[in-house]
Structure formats: structure tokens, C-alpha cells
Structure 1
Amino acid sequence: MVSQRAQDVTPFIAMDVLERANELEDVIHLEVGEPDFEPPDRVFETAIESLRAGNTDYTAARGKPKLRRAIAAHYDREYGVELDPDRVVVTPGTSPGLFLALAALVDPGEEVVLTDPHYACYPNFVRTVGGEIETVPLRAAEGFEPRTADFEAAIDETTRALLLNSPANPTGAVLDGETLAGLAATAETTDTVPVVDEVYHGLSYDAEEHTILEYTDEAFVLNGFSKRFAMTGWRLGWIVVPPGYVEAVNRLAQNVLICAPNFVQDAGVAALETPPDRLAEIRETYRKRRDRLLEAVTDWGLDLGYTPQGAYYLLVDVSDLPGDSLEIADLLLEEAGVAVTPGVDFGEGAADYLRLSYATDIEAIEEAIDRIGAVLQTVETV
């Protein structure tokens, strides 16, 4: 019999949409966050050099010292945060890092507070380690920025962790320094621990990025190479661990992950050495795509209610259209040949929305805009 734990895991609807879209012809993919850029050339060259040098064996579970030092230097360079490399644990992608953090923090029956909307997989990670879920609402009129007071109200004696995401998937919201400082202070006074997913750092357009490590050492920080450096299939990420949890997380990594691929870790060092002007050019490309989609949403007669400040997603309110977000996404796939993600994937607070990804080229986006507009002209609002 399948375990109750496995039965409790809900589908990742974005991946279901992708699978179905791949069975059709002439589909434009706006459903998944897959960057259309290539990693920097030096990343490829370093990986090949490392392979030829025979770096295909195990490394220490926490990662190669050179990469951990490079990650620590990244925090000093980007945020002015001095970080002990011993607090860095390298992981085969950011998602395994989230599992390690929650496994080190949460006992069965303890609570994790997360936002609504939230990244679709967060609740399943919490359930898998036996945790309970409490949510705090986000509001489009406030740019989907969380209120510190809402977190304070949600915390009780069973709360163990606050799970945050900035820049956020699916909203594109970026937490400012004041909010992060407030949440860090709340965590300290309530004996809870922030777990902050910063994997979209480097992809903000209208806001200054801050890491929660500027305000506290007592936080787990998740990051990686998939989004910033377009290295999704390379499966390389990291966790910055609070000092008191380093050995526990390392033991978990030894048993659950073994290690991230050796030669890919060398490529990660090269990625972190990428000149900043390359990333600035990519950010500007994403910004132009975002702005074009914002114009299109208005032309479609739909409402966004906010401007995404980072990542490469926007949530479009479709509550004025007949049917729920699943039915509308199905209509756009079948009639327009455009794959989008139903907002219900991201919590009750996103149930009336569609998530559109602009991690694809502008020509495909323009075609998708025309196709969606043509279908929506045939649909009566309610």
C-alpha cells in the first residue's frame, strides 16, 4: 500500500500542464520557469575541463571548499555580509536544500507559516517532514508584499519556521529591507526560524534586493544557479545554515544526498565569477518582456492590480471570466495553443489567477499575446 505521506503529496499542476502541452502541436510555453538563456560560456568550459581532469568522484557532502568559499565571497560582494564558508552546504539543486532545512527544523505536528500565494511545492515539503501548514494572506493591491503583523498573528506555540520567498514565485514580489528586518525580529522574539528562498536573486527590476542574512544569522537561506545563471538542468544549489544547525544539516546531506556532482560544482565557481554586465543585460531583457505582457493584460481587458518587481512571472486576475482558473487555462491551451499555469496551484489566494512566465523569447510572447487576445474576444465576462 502506498504510504499516507505519498498520498498526501498533491500534483505540481504546472508540470501537469507542461506534460499535456508537450503532447500537442504548436504550443507556446508560458507555464514553466525555464530560462531561455544559455549559461555563461565559461561555465561550459569549466565543466568540460573538470570532466577531463577526472573530477567525477564523490566530494564531501557539504560541497567542495572552493565552491563554498566562492559562495561566501558572493554574499560579501553583493550584500556586504561576511559569511563563514563552513555555514554553506552545497546541494544538487535548491529543492533538496529546502528539504534539508525543513528536516533539520520541523518535527511532526509542528507548524510552518507560509504566504498565500506561495510556490506550489512548499506545502508538500512541509507535509513530507510531518509539519502542519498555516498561511498568511497576500494582496495584489499591496504588490503581494507580506505584512509582518500577519505573520505575528499566525505564530503560536507550535510554530517552528517562517517560509518566505523573494523575489517570489508566482507573484514576482521583492521583499524590502524593512520587511525582512521586521520578519527577522519577529522570528527572534517568537523562537521561530526564517527559511528564505532567494533563488531568484539577481532577477529584480524595480527594487533593491536584500538577503535576510543582512538582519540575522539565525535563518536558513536557499539559493542556487538555476535561475540567475540559467543552469536548471545542472542541478546545483546551496543552503546557508544557522551556526547551530550546520552539523545536523551535514549529517542529513551525507545520508540523503551524498553530494552534488563534482564537476558541476567547479562550473558553479565559474558561474559566480560571471561579469555583472552580462546579468544586467539579461535583467533588462526580462524587464522588456514583463512590460510587454503588462500592456497586453490591459489590452485583454483583464486586471493585474500590481507590477511584478522580480523573477519572471505575473499573476493575472481572471475572476471576471466564466469558469475557474483550471478551466480558463484549459481553454487557452486547447483554443489558443498557449500553456499557462492555473493559479490554484499556488494556494487559495491565487485561485482566481493565471500565472504567466516570461522566461521565453519576445517573438513567442508576441505570438502568445495575439492568440490569447483572439480567444478572449470570444469569451463573455461575468
Structure 2
Amino acid sequence: MDDQHITDLVVGGVDTHKDLHVAAIVDGQDRFLASESFPTTRQGYRRMLSWMRSFGVLQRVGVEATGTYGAGLLRHLQQAGIEVLEVTGPDRHDRRKRGKSDDFDAEAAAHAAFAGKRTVTPKTRDGMIEALRVLKACRKTALQARRIALQMIGNTIVSAPDALRDILRKMTRMKLIRTLAAWRPDMTGYREMEMAYRIALKSLARRYLELHDEIADLDAMIKPIVDDLAPDLVAQNSIGYGSAAQLLITAGDNPGRLKSEASFAALCGVSPVPASSGKTDRHRLNRGGDRAANSALHIIAICRLRCDARTQHYVARRVADGMSKLEAIRCVKRYIAREVFALIRNRYREINEAQIAA
């Protein structure tokens, strides 16, 4: 490639925010050219792309936070055929030396995209996986709210007047919830203590039931998406729809960005980390990666440890060899990650082949 062609190439970087994105451009020799701010609207994305292309042939763009503030920009750039790299974070040494500003962060993102450092291939966020992620995130908050409502019911009953507490304290959970939801307290008597307790308990019980129904509706939406994307995954031992959904979300709509099952294991935080010293040769647990995916693999591993004879024999053998039980479970999670990655990769290969044939 001649020098003239190199100078025609430019690389962009974007520091993303809620209402305003700051973009920067470096040339083919990684020299800073300019920076500019653009609103986070479709018109703003078009102006940003035109501005970047005005400096030369746009080779790639490094974008921060493609899963949150930068999601809309990511989709716009990908639809325009621009290669996008997610910049994981500014260089700490450079930040200590230069300070912090949005222009500096955008320039740092451009330099990182140019060098290919501190960058990863972002998820595409434009297919069924993104739909699955949004639904599962909504379900998670509904579960948390339902749990809080149940805790508040229990705490309220503990401090309720004796007449109410004696009636309610021995009921099973769902009988208690339905009994409270069916109450018809006098809403005009809220100044009286006992009536206020009745009103509060009825409100909490109705909230619990509404959230219960909402979670059931979300489950009914998540299940067919998982069945469409990876039916072989939920057919495996101890892999439920919740765990399968989380592992699909972690892999993303474009699992080709994961080069091997080892990279998927590292992404899930189950790859072994060397912790050897002197004559000691060992590996420790990986506390990095996607902790939600790690939790899904842990749930699968614990379920298999309870009901799968092969897993039980494997863990017993590793413990007999000197491993702790936690280390043995880490090894099980690593093998499950290998199994899951192969299933996801094969399924996406089938989907892509079907799309090409169509």
C-alpha cells in the first residue's frame, strides 16, 4: 500500500452519551485531525458519518458502550457497511497524563480503533437475540419487584395488629396472597391503623399477582425464541430456558465474533487462570467475564452434579486427585461451556445456510 493511499484512510472514534456523541478522526498514520459533537438522533448519526467521510476513506470506527448509549449509532453504522469495533475503555496511563474530557475520550477511541487495542467485535444487536435480551431484562426486574413485594408482605404482617397477624401467619404463600388480594377494606378508613394495614396488604398482594402474571407472559414469549434459536440447547441435560436464554444472549446475534470455544469460555468467566508459584502448579477460578453467563453455567453444573451420574463420578475423581470441590465444579463449567458453544455454533451455521439457500 503506497503512502498516498495510506493518507486517504481515516479511522473514527466516538465517546457516547445519552443526548450527545463526541466523534474524533485520525488519519492513516494515527495523527489526530479533528473532533465534533453530534446529537443522538438519526439525523445526528447521518451528519456524523458524513463528517467522518469528509476527511477520507473511512476504514473503521471505534465506539464506546455499544450495548447502551452507543446502540443506536452501532446499528446505523453497521447498516451503512462500516466496520465497528467496541472500545472497552480509555488507556489509564494516557488519562492520568492528559486528563479527561469528551474530546480526549473520543480521540482515545479513534487511536484504539486504529491500533486494534482495547477493542472487541461488538454484538450486532439487530436480531432475535436482542429481542430475547430485552425481554429477559424485563423479566429480571419483574422478578426482583415480585420478591420485594413478598418481603414487604411478610414484614407488614409481622408488625400488624394481633387480630390480623393471627389470621394470616399460618397461611401458605399463594393462599395468603389470594386472600389479601380478595379483601375489600374501607378505603375511607385509612386513618385507622388496622384499616391502613388491610389497605397496604391488599395493595402489595395485588402487586405481587400482577407481577406474577407479567413474568408468566414474558416466559411465554422467551420460550419460543429460544426454541427457534437453539432447540438442541434446551434438549440437553439440566439446561432450562432461563440458562439457555442467557447463554444465547452472551454469544450474541453474531457468534462468529467468538473465534473458538476457548474464547467463549473466557467470555463466560470459566476459563482456567494460571496461579502457579514455585513448585505449586495450579489454576484458580476466573472472576472475570460475563457473570450472568457464569451464573447460568453454574446452575447447569449444580443440577448435573445432583442428577447426572457421569458428572458425579467426574467431580469425585477430581476431588480424589487433590482438587477442591469448587475447583472441580469450575472444570465442569468449562466442559459445559465447550458443549454449549458447539451447539450454538452449529445452530447458527444451519440458520445461515438456510438463509443463503432461500
The verdict on a shared fold, with TM-score over 0.5 as the criterion, is no
Q: Give the TM-score band, short-chain normalised.
A: under 0.3
Which of the pair is proportionally richer in helix? 2
Greater gyration radius: 2
TM-score of the two chains, using structure 1 as the length reference: 0.20
